Structure formats: structure tokens, C-alpha cells
Homo-oligomer: A and B are copies of this chain.
Amino acid sequence: MTSKGIKPKIETQGMDISVDCVVFGFDNDQLKVLLIEQKQPIDTSIKTQKAVPGDLVMDNESLDEAAARILKELTSLKGIYLKQFFAFGDPNRVRGLKDQQWLRTFRVNPERRVLTVGYYSLVKLSEFKPKAANFAGNAYWVDVYNIPSLAFDHNEIVHKALLMLRHELMADHIGFELLPEKFTLSQLQKLYEIILDKKLDKRNFRKNILRTETLTPLKEKQQGVLHKPAQLFKRKLK
């Protein structure tokens, strides 16, 4: 039944939805991202690839539920706050030759179009030790500025997540929680420099960060340094 002036109904073949999780890990002087190595299929002629942890969303599962489940199934990590950041919908994003070979081993409908919803997170590197399971043959942290070629469109997904992280850092001043409770402005500047991947001018950085009014200066100074201990700051509670 169609009404006059209405285009014919669109008939789609049916698609799949997946989630992919970009987990950034920070410590004092490096920013890493969590990758898996796909498990080797029994057919050893099929090449495995590196990827961010991701899988299909089940029929009755919400996106947030799927993200938490999949990250845990593949890397054993749990209790990580994952935030949705972008939907990647290129019709051919899983149709590369290597991708299709691997999918034919692990998916019932490998040829289906898959839209993936990207999630990301920023955690303290030292607090999360990944351990591979399910179809992950390995799970490990890799320097975010030295990422190898990844499966599907995962290089693009990591890149977009990094841009989002930088935007949140500049706009919302996230990232304090990666520092000790009391920190110096030098520590904070270093965190910004590593995530933004550029040197910042010390005077401008201090001026700009102080006028965001997100920091409380403390009367305490750094302990255990030989010369000119720096002032400590805390994040201001809103």
C-alpha cells in the first residue's frame, strides 16, 4: 500500500551493528591505546590482524551494554567508563579482502554491511592489565603515536577518537583524574602536551589554565625535590 506522491518503500537487506572500543591509557609520560591481535583461525592460511576490541551487538542488547560486554570478553577489562563518540557507516567498511577472510571464520553473515558505533575511554595505564580471551589472541597497549595497520577502518576510528579526546581536553578540561590528587602545573602541562602531541608555551599554558577556574591552588608545595619546590594544585569541585 503506497499513498500518492510517496516514493516506493525502501527495502534494505538488513545490516549488522557493532561497537568498537578505543581505550586510551595514560601514565606520566606516555599515551597508549589498547589493541587486540585477532585469534588465528584453524585455517592457518588466513592472516590475523590487529584491531581495537569490538564485536557485534546482540539483538536485544543496548549499545552501552554491548560495549561493556565486548571489552570484557576480549580483554578481561571491566569497570571502565566508555563513552560513545561516533557512528562509522561507510557501506564497505568490512569488505576488504583480509577483513572478509577473517570474518568468514567468525561470523554467520560475514558479507553483511556493519555500522559500528565507536566508544572511547581514558584510563590510568598502570591500573588496567589486559588479558586476551574469546577471539582475541592477544591484548596489549601500544603507543598512540606509533600504531600499526589495523583491521577494517580501525585506524580511522582510533584517529577520530584521539581528535575527540583532544577536543574534550581543551573544551572540558578532562584529564585531572589521571594525575595524583595534588599536582603541579608542570605535571598538568605535560599531560596536555602528550595528549595534544605538541609543546606548549609555559607562560601561556599557565595563564590559560588558571583562568578556566577549574583549579584550586593549595598552600602546600612539592615534597622531595632539591630546588625550588613547585606549588601544588587540586581540581576544583563544581
- The segment from A56-64, A144-152, A182-190, A195-203 that touches chain B is A56-64
Specify which chain B residues have a CB less than 8 angstroms from the CB of A61 in the assembled complex: 91
Q: Does residue A172 face the partner (Cβ distance < 8 Å to B)?
A: yes
> What 1/0 flags go to A36-59 for Cβ under 8 Å of B?
000111110000000000011111
> How far is B108's CA from A60's CA once the two chains are assembled, in angstroms?
21
Contact of A91 among B13, B14, B60 (CB under 8 A): B60
A209: shortest Cβ distance to chain B, in Å? 13
> How far is B38's CA from A25's CA once the two chains are assembled, in angstroms?
47
Q: Does residue A227 face the partner (Cβ distance < 8 Å to B)?
A: no
> How far is B39's CA from A7's CA once the two chains are assembled, in angstroms?
12
A76: shortest Cβ distance to chain B, in Å? 13
Q: Does residue A117 face the partner (Cβ distance < 8 Å to B)?
A: yes
- The segment from A27-35, A82-90, A214-222 that touches chain B is A82-90
How large, as a class, is the contact surface on chain A?
A: 35 or more
Q: Does residue A5 face the partner (Cβ distance < 8 Å to B)?
A: yes
Among A148-205, those with CB < 8 Å from B are 167, 171-172
Q: Is the Cβ of A91 less than 8 Å from the Cβ of B17?
A: no
Query: Given A12-B16, A108-B11, is A3 in contact with B39 using a C-beta cutoff of 8 Å?
Result: yes
A175: shortest Cβ distance to chain B, in Å? 15
Q: Is the Cβ of A115 less than 8 Å from the Cβ of B17?
A: yes
Oligomeric state, in copies = 2
For A211, the closest partner residue in chain B by CB is B211
> How far is B8's CA from A134's CA once the two chains are assembled, in angstroms?
10
Q: Is the Cβ of B11 less than 8 Å from the Cβ of A14?
A: no
Query: Given A6-B134, A12-B58, A107-B9, is A17 in contact with B89 using a C-beta cutoff of 8 Å?
Result: yes
Residues of A in contact with B (beta carbons under 8 Å apart): 1, 3, 5-7, 9-17, 39-43, 55-63, 73, 84, 86-87, 89-91, 105-109, 112-113, 115, 117, 133-135, 167, 171-172, 211
Q: List 22 A-B contacts (CB under 8 A).
A: A1-B41, A1-B43, A3-B42, A6-B39, A7-B135, A10-B108, A12-B57, A12-B58, A13-B14, A14-B14, A14-B15, A14-B16, A17-B89, A57-B89, A59-B91, A59-B113, A62-B89, A62-B90, A84-B86, A89-B117, A167-B171, A171-B171
